[in-house]
Structure formats: structure tokens, C-alpha cells
Amino acid sequence: MKIFETQHELQSYLQGLRTTGKKIALVPTMGALHEGHLSLIHEAQRVADVTVCSIFVNPTQFNDPKDLEKYPRPIEHDLKLLTSVSCDAVFMPSVAEMYPTNELEWRIDLGNLDTIWEGEKRPGHFQGVTQIVYKLFTLVQPDIACFGQKDFQQVMVIQRLIDVKRLPVHIHICPTIRNDEGLALSSRNLRLSEAGKKKALALYRSLHYIKTHVNQQQPKELKQHAFEILETEGQIDIEYLAICESRSLREVETVDPEKQHVALIVAWVEGVRLIDNMIIHEGATA
């Protein structure tokens, strides 16, 4: 596994591969890797010839400087994990490498995607996400970029970036990795006690109820039953639960059989903010 810290080094490496016609996949991360991230590496290896994983804690997507400061950076552990799955290359730049002093102000039209749900809760967050992803896309020029379904709104934001900038990158959405009971694997879940993890399973059960009953009930009724599932656990503070059309993430009152729909949920358990979602209707044209 090759490790690069500068854009020039990485570009030189990738240029040699492109001349031989290799298909390149990018897996952007902020480190603190777990099995969910490794599943993205495996998917990238399945769909491309060369896999590049970036590890960069991007300062422009943090609303609170304290969160940036506290963000875990177990780099030795991350490199060990990437070596274990035979990742081809890792890009670990400094902040100065990615954000030179003459940086132009970044702004992209994301429609309503940066003002609803996570966009509303974290103003400016998705502008920061698109800023660094655009930099990585420009640098790596990947054929494919692999992202986890768990951060569904982020994936839709990046798809919007690709559409607006007309980038020749295909987004490969990788399914959320869950434990045997359904809990989504996440670095945040590691902060829960065993009792907290059991409570958090109610998020999965509520989403699963919506998915399995979407053809029998309207969204209002589906949400009512999902709230009942969540409330039976107690001590779960629900921030939002919504049934949306996938691309726009606009909440719907009825499910259009021609479109894909997703259920989104954010809740607090033991002071930890948990995010999850589930594709509940694929749509005739999905």
C-alpha cells in the first residue's frame, strides 16, 4: 500500500496508472475507520482496478471548532486496517496542502439540500463537504466514488455537485453495514453503553416497519407507528423522522410509485446523536 501526503505525489502515481487504462475508485474518509469504511474499500475493489482512500479531517465542514478539535485521529490504526484489506493507495494531506492561503471562497447551489434536515441542523456543513470532495475529485479524477448509504443526504449532495459541475464521476452507493441485530455500524455507536445500543435498535425497527408497510399505509400512518416503536424504548429523543423522495429529500404525503423514497431518522441516545435511513421504495424508474 502506497502512502501519499502531497497532491503532486499522488497525481504522479495516478497518471502512470491512467496511461495503462486502469479504472480508479476513490473512497473519501475522515479517518477513524471501522468495518463500515472497509466495506466501501471492498466495494471499490470490486468495481475498479485501483482503490484510493483519502483520510482528511476537513475543517470547512465543522460548525463547532471544538468538534473539529475533538475529532478522533487514530492514524496508525487506520493504516493498519487499510493494509489488512489491501487498499492500493492512501492520501493523507495536511490542511495547508488542501487549503492554500489564497483559497477562493466556495459556494455551490445545492437547491434545498443544504437547508433541510441535516442542512438545517448544521448550516454550512454541506458547502464544506462539497468543497473538499470537489478538490478530491479534481485531484484524483476517479471513474467511481464510493460512499456509504448511511449518510444518505450527503450522497445526494455529492450527486448534486457532480450534476452542477458536470463531472465524469459515477457515485457508487454502498449499503449501510449493520450488526446482526440491525444497528448501523458507526464511530458514534461506539460511544454507547450496551444498554444504549439496545435502545438504539429501535431506530432500525422503526425504519424496518416503514419499509415493510409502505405499500399498505400512507406516510402519516407509517410515521405514527414508527414513533410508537421508538417510544416503547424510552429515553430516545427523536430529532426528526421523515419519509422523503430520494433525490430532493422533500417530505411526501403519498408515495409516488414511479420514484424512489427513503425514510430518514435522527435521534439522541445517551447524549449521542444517531443518524440512520432506509430505502423504503425503489420506484419504477429507480
Residues that are catalytic: 37
What is the three-class DSSP state of 111? coil
246 is in an annotated binding site: no
Q: Which residue has the cell 437547508?
A: 115
What backbone phi and psi angles, to 5 degrees, belong to 172? -110, 110
Q: Is 111 annotated as a binding residue?
A: no
Determine if residue 154 is labeled as part of a ligand binding site: yes
16 belongs to an annotated ligand binding site: no
Report yes or no: 216 and 249 within 8 Å, Cβ to Cβ: no
44 in a labelled binding site: no
Say whether 30 counts as a known binding-site residue: yes
Is position 186 annotated in a ligand binding site? Answer: yes
Residue 185 assigned to a binding site: yes
- 155: closest CA among 136, 137, 174? 174
CA 43 to chain centre: 15
DSSP letters for 143-184 = SEEEEEGGGHHHHHHHHHHHHHHT---EEEEEPPPB-TTSPB
Q: Does the annotation flag 31 for ligand binding?
A: yes
Q: Is 15 annotated as a binding residue?
A: no
Buried b / exposed e over 182-203, threshold 16 CB at 10 Å, is bbbbbbebeebeeebbebbbbb
Check the annotation: does 7 bind a ligand: no
Question: Is 218 annotated among the ligand-binding residues?
Answer: no
How far from 91 is each of 8, 72, 131, 188, CA to CA, in Å? Answer: 11, 17, 17, 24
Residues annotated in a binding site for (R)-pantoate: 61, 154
Residues annotated within a binding site for beta-alanine: 61
The binding site for ATP consists of 30-37, 148-151, 177, 185-188
Annotated binding residues, as ranges?
30-37, 61, 148-151, 154, 177, 185-188
